[in-house]
A and B are shown apart, each in its own frame.
Chain A
Amino acid sequence: DGGITQSPKYLFRKEGQNVTLSCEQNLNHDAMYWYRQDPGQGLRLIYYSHIVNDFQKGDIAEGYSVSREKKESFPLTVTSAQKNPTAFYLCASSIQGIGNEQFFGPGTRLTVL
């Protein structure tokens, strides 16, 4: 099956800890994205990558970091510098070029205890 997987589904973190969220895709998409969703709100872009070994900050990158060492993988680290990390995190991917429909993974719900 082709698709996007995210793990874990639920993640609990103590204050001051860094945590890493996994995102893997087997769609052979070049571009990958991380979004954050808060209750009752739309999604906001954290980071994106259009090619391996390159990534760009989105609208709310502070307190987050990413890497893109492989085409299939785009992990997101939520650092202790992120002041309000409790949220639903969604990963997406798309082919490059005009008409790049984005496809989403099932999401990871992060709760800070």
Chain B
Amino acid sequence: KQEVTQIPAALSVPEGENLVLNCSFTDSAIYNLQWFRQDPGKGLTSLLLIQSSQREQTSGRLNASLDKSSGRSTLYIAASQPGDSATYLCAVSTGSARQLTFGSGTQLTVLP
């Protein structure tokens, strides 16, 4: 059974810092990996989607990498801003139904 782990569970950084969020998964037979952002009491916003054949994806200040063989992904946020404060969730797509298995998230606080 696929398991997804996100470390750290919470992270607090001063504004302007570059930071890395980690995601690991136990079964490397994935179709893709998605990073999401969730604000308190809200739904999920898709940030980046990495196909299993890709190594990384970039969108603005965000860069996500995927190492499928080792079961790891990282989300790099450059020049963090207070508006980046949210919970970041990682999810992998597996199985014939391509269902998503989620990690528990990293709660990020960027201090002004």
**Distance in angstroms between the alpha carbons of A40 and B103 in the assembled complex:** 10
Looking at chain A, what size class is its interface with the partner chain? 20 to 34
- The answer to whether A42 touches B104 (Cβ under 8 A) is yes
- The answer to whether B42 touches A56 (Cβ under 8 A) is no
Instruction: Please indicate which of the listed interface residues B100, B102, B103 has the most CB atoms of chain A within 10 Å of its own CB.
Output: B100
Instruction: Please indicate which of the listed interface residues B32, B43, B91, B103 has the most CB atoms of chain A within 10 Å of its own CB.
Output: B43
11 contacts between A and B (CB under 8 A): A41-B104, A42-B4, A42-B91, A43-B44, A44-B102, A98-B51, A99-B49, A99-B51, A100-B31, A101-B32, A107-B42
Report if A16 contacts B (CB, 8 A).
no
With A101-B34, A102-B34, A102-B46 as contacts: A40 and B99 at CB distance below 8 Å: no
How does the 8 Å CB contact mask read for A53-91 relative to B, with 1 for contact and 0 for none? Answer: 000101000000000000000000000000000001010
- The answer to whether B49 touches A90 (Cβ under 8 A) is no
- The answer to whether B43 touches A106 (Cβ under 8 A) is yes
By a CB distance below 8 angstroms, the chain B residues around A103 are 46
Given A44-B102, A56-B97, A107-B43, 15 additional A-B pairs, CB 8 A: A35-B102, A42-B103, A43-B91, A45-B99, A45-B100, A90-B43, A98-B51, A99-B31, A99-B32, A99-B49, A102-B100, A104-B43, A105-B43, A106-B42, A106-B43
CB-nearest residue of chain A relative to B31? A98
By a CB distance below 8 angstroms, the chain A residues around B97 are 48, 50, 56
CB-nearest residue of chain A relative to B5? A42
CB-nearest residue of chain A relative to B105? A42
Interface of B with A (CB < 8 Å)? 4, 31-32, 34, 36, 41-46, 49, 51, 89, 91, 93, 97-100, 102-105
Report if A109 contacts B (CB, 8 A).
yes
CB-nearest residue of chain A relative to B54? A99
Instruction: Please indicate which of the listed interface residues A44, A48, A104, A105 has the most CB atoms of chain B within 10 Å of its own CB.
Output: A104
A104's partner among B32, B41, B44, B49 (CB-CB below 8 A) is B44
With A41-B104, A106-B42, A107-B43 as contacts: A101 and B99 at CB distance below 8 Å: no
